[in-house]
């Protein structure tokens, strides 16, 4: 019998600088859909979503966050790699402790041992461009 699928609670942080937000970009290899999402990750059992987002940013970027404010909670049901996923997304607004991070075009992040680039993208570019902001319900919070 296969592994039981579950709803995954995650917390993300919308870092804003001028008209831009920090996102990582990905591609669904099954569909070719290009997407981006603010940084963050899974909430562990017994961990508050605020603690989870601070931990995830520290793990991924080695950076501290401050002024975390909950923007809202959205439900995201989507298909990735041909499989259905379901997330409850706690979206936070926050600031980097290290203000110099806002001056960089991109930041190198780590997910386990895999490195990826997080980039500052304008809201207009995300609204009109080929890269889709996910979950799309985030637009209601921005």
Q: What is the pTM of this model?
A: 0.92
Are residues 39 and 56 in contact, defined by beta-carbon separation less than 8 angstroms?
Answer: yes
Are residues 50 and 98 in contact, defined by beta-carbon separation less than 8 angstroms?
Answer: no
Q: Compute how many other C-beta atoms are within 10 angstroms of the C-beta atom of residue 97.
A: 11
How do residues 102-141 score in pLDDT, each as one tens digit?
Answer: 999 999 998 888 889 999 999 999 998 889 999 999 999 9
In the chain, at which residue ranges do the beta strands (DSSP E only) sit? 8-17, 20-27, 34-37, 39-42, 65-80, 83-96, 106-111, 114-122, 132-133
What pLDDT was estimated at residue 129?
82
**List of residues 6+ apart from 119 with CB closer than 8 A:** 22, 23, 24, 25, 105, 106, 107
How do residues 27-75 score in pLDDT, each as one tens digit?
Answer: 999 999 999 999 999 999 999 999 999 999 999 999 999 999 999 999 9
Within the chain, where are the H helices? 49-61, 123-128
**Tell me, what DSSP letter sits at residue 4?**
P
Map out the domains of the chain as residue ranges: 8-140
What pLDDT was estimated at residue 76?
94
8-140 topology per CATH: Nucleoside Triphosphate Pyrophosphohydrolase (3.90.79)
């Amino acid at each position: 019998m296969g592994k039981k699928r579950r709803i995954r609670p995650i917390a993300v942080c919308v870092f804003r600088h001028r008209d831009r937000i920090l996102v990582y970009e990905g591609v669904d290899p099954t569909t070719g859909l290009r997407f981006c999402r603010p940084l963050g990750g899974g909430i562990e059992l017994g961990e508050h979503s605020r603690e989870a987002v601070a931990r995830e940013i520290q793990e991924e970027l080695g950076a501290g966050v401050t002024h975390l404010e909950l923007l809202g909670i959205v439900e995201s049901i989507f298909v990735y790699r041909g499989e259905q996923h379901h997330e409850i997304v706690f979206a936070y607004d926050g600031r980097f402790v290290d203000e110099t991070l806002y001056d960089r075009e991109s930041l190198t992040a780590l997910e386990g041992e895999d490195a990826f680039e997080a980039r500052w993208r304008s809201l207009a570019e995300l609204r009109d461009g080929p890269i889709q902001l996910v979950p799309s319900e985030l637009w209601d919070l921005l």
